Structure 1
């Protein structure tokens, strides 16, 4: 079938696969370095308890019927090793079936992690990685020309990511319609980066231009991805540029980098490097498999497509336990004020009005007023992100905040590894409390005179002083 493949996308596929493998690598490393405190056997939300109350068909994976921290760590480090090898191009010279199996193993490993990750893995970029990773299984390697159907399915993913985000903004917060959301967003986003303070201090007319550009990129350019070249390449290149702008302005885990990888798959880069001369024809079994998978994805796309057209559009939702075709979106509403939880402890036996409380430091989320926000993305600081949600509403904290405080009172080693600073290195605190503050970026004058990037105002108690029950 001559229509089945297009050699013009040989380099595009190569770049996409290497980029996707790099994202997989970061995702597996993130899981390996954080899971014990979050979902391990002694974690805040232990996997064994979750598995006991969940049916396999609702969260399929490798951890039924047996789970151990060693098995989970083995899955993480195996995934990291396989991903690193793919970044180096290990699958390019392998037989097609072996290369497909390699990508399939990565997908199964990460699916197993996400499906027991509970609230810690409830972010849209988890499903995006799984959906993209599933399609990558059928993209082939150097032994075949890139299959057109899979390339189109990758564009369909990118379309839903961008168009879904654009629609949720227009339908959601009024400030997106009057172009004022970016007056607040850089300050109130979940995890600001080192340049976020400077982005926030841009003149307001530039913020309005930012918002208008966002609408153009997310509501117009995705449609052009399905037009003939070179228009599709220009649209994809513009998406890449806007994603790099987002990389500079904040920390959004691997969402931006995975979106960039998807955009690169839509670009015709044949003028940069010629494909191998006369690639062999695709095996019949491979063509049949790709056609069958395409048909299945189109059927599963009905509900996500209907969601795009719905006035009650939902964002970041999976419609099946395999996360094959999902709904995406971001920042349908933008907060006008930044709330932050500050967690403190004391070693005094009985807290009183003059008690000295010492703050726990977090790696990414703002606590220290004089500390410039750091760049962590594409690495994902799961606890820091959930602390941001907890500051928005106690409902987000209900499942895990109590166990978190308990582990601080025990000086739990794995939990403390998630933090930047433990004020009680020698012995655990006697009491821990949490207080809610309003944070705002300082002005230029405040920064020059105080050296502080943030200013904060006490709002209320979030958790009264708590100690371990005897």
Structure 2
């Protein structure tokens, strides 16, 4: 069928598939390197305990059949290896059916991880990776031209990401309507990047222009994705530029990168490069794509209804397979940044004048002189949850005690998640505590005089001095 495909999008498909495979690689590698302390058999939120209390229909996963840390590591590193092969073009070297099967494997593996990840994996970009990864199964390879229906479904994903984020801002914090949210956002965002300090100190009129441009990009431009070319290409390019601006200004895991890849699929590259010749799509493939389209449109009812609802939910999935989801970000923007600083002491009495030494995290602010680094698209899960915990202790209820216990025992897997531990694993502290500070970016003159990008002020105790208690009730 002539309407079924268009060779003009072959380069966009190539970039999307290779880029998506690279993001899969980052996600799998992050899971393999961090899971033992977070959800491993001896982790803060162990997978076996979670699965024992959750029915299959709520969390379908390969780990229902078997769980061990070794098996999880095999799945994660196996997914990383296959993703690397897909990024190198493996799917274009095999027949169409085999290529589709290859794309199914990382989707199943990562779905299995997300569905046991609990609060560590409760982020919108997990669902976004799974939704895009599911559609990638049906996008074909070099043997056939890209199917237009799947390309349109990818635009529908992009529309929900951008339009959902735009609506939730307009319905949420009044500072978005007043164009003042970016007075604070670069300083209070979850994990600032190396340029965030400079973005924060841009002139306030420019911040207002940023906010206004954001509304245009998220509320007007997404509609143009469904218009004829070259308008759709122009809309996609505007989205790409906006997302690159966000990449420079902060660390949001792979959210911005996958949004860029989705936008690339709407770009018609045919004026720039002649598409290669492809054979016609087989009938079974056309039937599968049409069935997929009908299925996704049927499943889109709740996400579409959510967009229209005055009680719009942010980053919500409507089924355990994460097939069609609702997205959105930063409906509210904090004016003040709070950070939890975790400290330990080897002194036998945890007095205020004891020698308290701070643990330093990889991404979240700690030492005021330590300049933020770029980690995205890699996701530092503990650092992100520490940001949420500083907003409210309710976010820390299920895992924070486990973190403190592992610091007191010198757990090596936990210490590997940190940038620096003042206590080696063989000599853990006798006591740990957590203190809440207010952080703000220093001014230009303060940076010049002190060399510190942050200034912090003590607020209160988050958790008082805590130690291990032996089974007979005696302190260690």
Q: Same fold (TM over 0.5)?
A: yes
How far 1:18 sits from its partner (Å)? 0.7
Residue matched to 2:52: 52
The number of equivalent residue pairs is 469
How far 1:276 sits from its partner (Å)? 1.8
Residue matched to 1:378: 377
Map 1:129-144; keep pairs closer than 5 Å.
129-144=129-144
Residue matched to 1:17: 17
How far 1:202 sits from its partner (Å)? 0.5
Contact persistence 1:61–1:111 (CA under 8 A): yes
How far 1:148 sits from its partner (Å)? 0.5
How far 1:272 sits from its partner (Å)? 2.7
Is residue 2:91 matched to residue 1:116? Answer: no
Residue matched to 1:243: 243
How far 1:274 sits from its partner (Å)? 1.8
How far 1:352 sits from its partner (Å)? 1.6
More displaced, 4-13 or 153-162?
4-13
How far 1:353 sits from its partner (Å)? 3.1
**What TM-score comes out, normalization by structure 2 length?**
0.98
Structure 2 distance, partners of 1:293, 1:74, is 31
Contact persistence 1:16–1:262 (CA under 8 A): yes
Residue matched to 1:435: 435
How far 1:93 sits from its partner (Å)? 2.1
Map 1:208-247; keep pairs closer than 5 Å.
208-247=208-247
How far 1:422 sits from its partner (Å)? 0.6
Structure 2 distance, partners of 1:442, 1:345, is 27
Residue matched to 1:282: 281
Q: Which runs of 4+ in 1 moved over 3 A?
A: none
How far 1:9 sits from its partner (Å)? 0.7
Residue matched to 2:263: 263
Contact persistence 1:166–1:329 (CA under 8 A): yes
Q: Unmatched 5+ residue regions in structure 2? A: 471-476
User: Match of 1:197, SS?
Assistant: helix
- How far does the alpha carbon of each residue in 1:338-363 deviate from its partner, in whole angstroms, 9 at most, with x for none? 00000000001111231110000000
User: Match of 2:455, SS?
Assistant: strand
Residue matched to 1:423: 422
How far 1:270 sits from its partner (Å)? 1.3
Residue matched to 1:402: 401
How far 1:302 sits from its partner (Å)? 0.2
Contact persistence 1:93–1:143 (CA under 8 A): no
- How far does the alpha carbon of each residue in 1:86-142 deviate from its partner, in whole angstroms, 9 at most, with x for none? 111111021000000000011000000000000000000000000000000000000
User: Match of 2:90, SS?
Assistant: coil
User: Match of 1:164, SS?
Assistant: helix
How far 1:414 sits from its partner (Å)? 0.1
Is residue 2:387 matched to residue 1:388? Answer: yes
Contact persistence 1:191–1:252 (CA under 8 A): yes
Structure 2 distance, partners of 1:314, 1:332, is 10
User: Match of 1:464, SS?
Assistant: strand
Structure 2 distance, partners of 1:179, 1:469, is 52
